Structure 1
């Protein structure tokens, strides 16, 4: 039912696979270089600055959690 493709067809398939492999590898290397240069422009290799962690408090009237430094959006105090 199925037979082996002819030698010229095998060469064409091998060439297509080689070209795809080459460009995939080149894109991966270019993407790595581009990412490094973007991090260097930002001034840090760790990534974007992160917000500080805040303690959360539960509102006694509505039950929602909010940062301890601010008030609840329902208007009641946390105490």
Structure 2
């Protein structure tokens, strides 16, 4: 029922596979070039497609015990930091 495909059919299948591979590769290269241009604008602030936030020192609130960035105040409303 499913005999061997003829030579013209094999050529068509090979051409389809080659076209799909070419366009997938072309799209991957275009995305890579786009990512590098975005990285140049942000001076390398992107890693794995996610923007990195700067690292901040954390301090513990003396009244509630929660940690918060040293530059801001605790959200508990107490001034015991």
- After TM superposition, the score normalised by the length of structure 1 is 0.67
How many pairs does the alignment contain?
Answer: 76
Give distance in 1, aligned partners of 2:63 and 2:42: 45
Q: Does 1:68 align with 2:70?
A: yes
Unmatched 5+ stretches in structure 1: none
Higher strand share: 2
Q: Where do 4+ consecutive residues of structure 1 move more than 4 Å?
A: 48-51
Q: Using the alignment, how far apart are the partners of 1:39 and 1:52 within structure 2?
A: 16
Per-residue deviation, 1:23:
0.9
Matches within 5 A, 1:18-29: 18-29=18-29
- For 2:34, the equivalent position in structure 1 comes to 34
- Gaps in structure 2 of 5+ consecutive residues: none
